[in-house]
Amino acid sequence: MEQLKGACVFAQSGGPTSVINASFYGAAAAALESPNITRVLGAAHGIKGILNDELYDIGMEDRAELELLVNTPSSALGSCRYKMADPEKDDKDYRRILEIFRKYDIRYFFYNGGNDSMDTCHKVSRFMAGSGWNCRVMGIPKTIDNDLYGTDHCPGFGSAARYIATSCMELSLDAGVYDYGTVTIVEIMGRHAGWLTGAAALASHFGAGPDLIYLPETVFDLDAFLEKVKGLCQAKGGAFVAVSEGIHDKDGTFISEYGAKGGKDAFGHTQLGGLAAYLANKVKEFCGAKTRGIELSLLQRCGAHLASRTDIDEAILAGKTAVEAACGGETGKMVAFERVYENGNYACRTKLIPLTDVANYEKKVPLEWILPDGGGVTREFIDYVLPLIQGEPRRAVEFGLPRFARLKKVKAK
Amino acid sequence: MEQLKGACVFAQSGGPTSVINASFYGAAAAALESPNITRVLGAAHGIKGILNDELYDIGMEDRAELELLVNTPSSALGSCRYKMADPEKDDKDYRRILEIFRKYDIRYFFYNGGNDSMDTCHKVSRFMAGSGWNCRVMGIPKTIDNDLYGTDHCPGFGSAARYIATSCMELSLDAGVYDYGTVTIVEIMGRHAGWLTGAAALASHFGAGPDLIYLPETVFDLDAFLEKVKGLCQAKGGAFVAVSEGIHDKDGTFISEYGAKGGKDAFGHTQLGGLAAYLANKVKEFCGAKTRGIELSLLQRCGAHLASRTDIDEAILAGKTAVEAACGGETGKMVAFERVYENGNYACRTKLIPLTDVANYEKKVPLEWILPDGGGVTREFIDYVLPLIQGEPRRAVEFGLPRFARLKKVKAK
């Protein structure tokens, strides 16, 4: 296998997670040690940083600050949601990327993101292969939604799941504190895949949590839901409900659009959101119960103080594996995880899968893991998620508050 | 001082906190050890549990479960928001309480709550004093709002402040991840007192946090706010804002009522809430920025996983002090905290203050600690809050999730 010497560039894309910077750290640490990699660069705001020639010299960072990245949420380099054109139709962006790669002698490109980012990564990989510029391209998975195809699970999911399960357990205790019936509705991210919403079931399973859980994989029937809640209010004086932001009716219309459709939404929401408040109001009208809608919102994806150590370690591993595989000659692949049980104990192995296989597929919760009518998820789902939420993060704390990484971000010359 | 032998009853009232159960533990542990206290009872749902003769025998609980109370959020015995009549006008409830006290030979009554609860406690104390039934009544402070008069700070505040500052620091990183301007607005509890909203400034001071912070002690000018946000969007491409749920205009109208007043609120909210979404929409209309409104909602008061160790220890101390003081002959008092600095280090001492002084006063943030126009708070405010958020809780974790206390709740005979 041919030795390829040159610079590498690492970029972060899509919605951030609690551990995407752990993958950055894993990749950066491996790249800084690699004899093949002459220089480690980071792109500002994903692929846009390459297009705009905004690259940082990661070799100029203090090593101690880089290490703090493992428990620093959000994307330290900045992120983007930039849709690349099909290179067959419009190769302007790709020619620009090639120009930048030549300028800095970039021979390794690592892209850390979800579905859309793997699509970008795939397109760049194909273009480079046909360009004559010898450059290896690797995808590193990341998404709280856990919907990437070809990998047992995604870095970012375990920490968000832990945040959701912990918060739902705490909320469940708080919601039941009075002796009159209250109905609490928690809205959880995941528009098409219910992995995160299903994680709320861990609270119910291991202590106290939602009575009803609705994933976006199945059809949501508003009338049946209201009857169920009413029944719970009569039987036990209240209800605690978890819903995915993406629950929809049999025609595929998001329930969150109901208010807007009826011209009732005063706020002109175009993003999803406001669903919890909408359902809380419906329940109030229907049962007369005191209700409260709670959106976990961005908190669930940036709550690094509740990150899972397993997730952090695997995120570091994903970054490191991408760099080592590329240095070993691989290109056009994404790092993926395989779950193995050794003497009954969970372990995670890495593998490489072609980017062609990953891009534009969405992995949803298997229907056989979902109980009907808000009944939650099966024991198989619980067993799948449980190993991913284990372990406390090694939090750096200063003045009682998180001490997150502070990068110098020295512009590459 | 007269030795008084008999049962005690402990009750929790008002909105729960992350540490109200720590005070319950402190009181229960002291009472179980006291030679004067023959039996330790807990009332279901505050004073209502006494009126309804729903008392639990705390002596029947496993000691290990009682110890888990120190990091179990919400009110383990249940809470209430019950307004007692003035005993001079209607003494029915008081006569019922006396009847129950006689039935169980209750000689000690401990009430753990905020302003309204101290009012209840005061009324019960006065009635008992005139009833001929020898009974000692003590208040134990509790409120995330930190608005109780006569005490340097309240158990519950430090943990909520730590949750808010940590979450704001995390959100601040997430909110700034894209290269286009986003405006994030976080809504924080505290209708009349801005202690919790001010705590968001700790994030800004020690790392990254809100650019603008609005407390309810000052007048909120919507137009000036919009101009400020626009200026920030132009200068730095976005803004992160923290607002109290209780911000109001110069006429005293809550900003959260603006939508409802204009007939625009689709959800018919009667509780405060929806303010963040309302302001986010206003900003969007005014600046065209991408906006997001986030309510910390119940999470800020039940996030026990982020409780401050200092707050937990002080909450235990408050419960213990109340029991010891009552056994020593005190009645009609509330446990309060005094802040002392020993060799420059923060320390907390307890004192007793008459319930007459506490009831129905609200302690607000001193105006001289509030910077004008959303500028946040002064260094004095930071120095006041900082010692209260220190220390990690001793979290009991099982299966990667919190292991909260599970009480048997054996009905007292």
Which string of b and e fits B32-43 if b means at least 16 CB within 10 Å? Answer: bebebbbbbbbb
What residues 37-76 of chain B have any CB closer than 8 A to a CB of chain A? 44-45, 48, 72-75
Does residue A277 form part of some domain?
A: yes
Provide the pLDDT for residue A181.
Answer: 81
User: Do A171 and A258 fall within a single domain?
Assistant: yes
pLDDT tens digits along A290-303: 999 999 999 999 99
Among candidate residues B301, B329, B349, the one where a domain is terminated: B301
Partners of residue A281 in chain B, C-beta under 8 Å: 266-268
User: Residue B272 sits in which domain range?
Assistant: 157-301
Please give the C-alpha separations between residue A95 and each of A7, A83, A170, B168, B213, in angstroms, as whole numbers.
18, 16, 52, 41, 46
The predicted model gives A31-50 an average pLDDT of 97
CATH of the domain at B255: 3.40.50.460
Provide the pLDDT for residue B144.
Answer: 97
CATH of the domain at B47: 3.40.50.450
Q: Is A363 on the interface with B (CB under 8 A)?
A: no
Provide the pLDDT for residue B404.
Answer: 98
The predicted model gives A249-270 an average pLDDT of 66
Q: Is pLDDT at A267 greater than 70 in this prediction? A: no
Q: What is the DSSP letter of A368?
A: G
Three-state DSSP string of A137-193: EEEEECCCCCCCCCCCCCCCHHHHHHHHHHHHHHHHHHHCCCCCCEEEEEEECCCCC
Q: Which helix (H) or strand (E) holds A195?
A: helix A195-206
Q: Where are the beta strands (DSSP E) in A262-385?
A: 290-295, 333-342, 345-354
- What does the radius of gyration of chain B's CA atoms come to, in whole angstroms? 23
Query: In chain B, whose CA is at the least distance from the CA of A283?
Result: B267
User: Do B290 and B168 fall within a single domain?
Assistant: yes
Does residue A382 form part of some domain?
A: no
The predicted model gives A365-375 an average pLDDT of 97
Indicate the pTM of the whole model. Answer: 0.96
User: Do B219 and B279 fall within a single domain?
Assistant: yes
User: Do A177 and A202 fall within a single domain?
Assistant: yes
CB contact under 8 A, B167 and A299: yes
User: Do B169 and B116 fall within a single domain?
Assistant: no
What residues 109-128 of chain B have any CB closer than 8 A to a CB of chain A? none
Q: Is pLDDT at A215 greater than 90 in this prediction? A: yes
Q: Is pLDDT at B272 greater than 90 in this prediction? A: no
Does residue A339 form part of some domain?
A: yes
The predicted model gives A389-406 an average pLDDT of 96
In one letter, which amino acid is A250? K
The predicted model gives A315-319 an average pLDDT of 98
Q: Is pLDDT at B2 greater than 90 in this prediction? A: no
Provide the pLDDT for residue A268.
Answer: 44
Option in B79, B305, B389 nearest A166 (CB): B305
Q: Where are the beta strands (DSSP E) in B177-284?
A: 182-188, 212-214, 239-244
User: Do A287 and A308 fall within a single domain?
Assistant: no
Overall domain count for chain A: 2
Measure the CA–CA gap between A274 and A281, rounded to whole angstroms: 11
Strands B345-354 and B333-342, bridge-based pairing: antiparallel
pLDDT tens digits along B375-387: 999 999 999 999 9
CB contact under 8 A, A207 and B170: no
User: Do A184 and A318 fall within a single domain?
Assistant: no
User: Do B327 and B191 fall within a single domain?
Assistant: no
Query: In chain A, whose CA is at the least distance from the CA of B406?
Result: A207
Does residue B150 form part of some domain?
A: no
The size of chain B, in residues, is 413
B145 annotated active-site: yes
Give B260's pLDDT tier (boundaries 50, 70, 90). low
Residue A368 pairs in a beta bridge with: none
Does residue A373 form part of some domain?
A: no
ipTM rounded to 2 decimals: 0.96
Provide the pLDDT for residue A396.
Answer: 96
What residues 277-316 of chain B have any CB closer than 8 A to a CB of chain A? 277-278, 280-281, 284, 292, 294-295, 297-299, 301-306, 308
Provide the pLDDT for residue A259.
Answer: 66
Does residue B128 form part of some domain?
A: yes
Q: Is pLDDT at B267 greater than 70 in this prediction? A: no
Catalytic residue among B93, B119, B145, B147: B145
pLDDT tens digits along B165-220: 999 999 999 998 998 889 999 999 999 999 999 999 999 999 999 999 999 999 99
Structure tokens at B138: 């003590």
Partners of residue B399 in chain A, C-beta under 8 Å: 202, 206, 386
Q: What percentage of chain A reaches a pLDDT higher than 90?
A: 87
Structure tokens at B108: 């000690």
Structure tokens at B168: 């704001």
User: Do B297 and B172 fall within a single domain?
Assistant: yes
Q: Which helix (H) or strand (E) holds B193?
A: none
Looking at every residue in chain A, the average pLDDT score rounds to 94
CA dihedral B94, B95, B97, B99 (to 10 degrees): 170
Better pLDDT: A358 or A350: A350
Which string of b and e fits A80-119 if b means at least 16 CB within 10 Å? Answer: bebebeebeeebebbeebbebbeebebbbbbbbbbbbbbb
Give A263's pLDDT tier (boundaries 50, 70, 90). very low
Q: Is pLDDT at B259 greater than 90 in this prediction? A: no
Structure tokens at B58: 């705390």
CB contact under 8 A, B266 and A264: yes
Q: Is A402 on the interface with B (CB under 8 A)?
A: yes
Structure tokens at A170: 């705490």
Provide the pLDDT for residue A260.
Answer: 55
In one letter, which amino acid is B20? I
Strands A345-354 and A333-342, bridge-based pairing: antiparallel
Provide the pLDDT for residue A274.
Answer: 84
Among candidate residues A302, A319, A334, the one where a domain is terminated: A302
Provide the pLDDT for residue B264.
Answer: 41
Does residue A63 form part of some domain?
A: yes
The predicted model gives B26-37 an average pLDDT of 98
The predicted model gives B371-396 an average pLDDT of 96
Give B347's pLDDT tier (boundaries 50, 70, 90). very high
User: Do B269 and B349 fall within a single domain?
Assistant: no
Among candidate residues B301, B319, B340, the one where a domain is terminated: B301
User: Do B35 and B135 fall within a single domain?
Assistant: yes
What residues 182-201 of chain B have any CB closer than 8 A to a CB of chain A? 184
User: Do A205 and A267 fall within a single domain?
Assistant: yes
SS3 state at B84: coil
Q: Which residue has the tokens 């001082």?
A: B1
The predicted model gives A26-36 an average pLDDT of 98
Does residue A183 form part of some domain?
A: yes
Q: Is B202 on the interface with A (CB under 8 A)?
A: yes
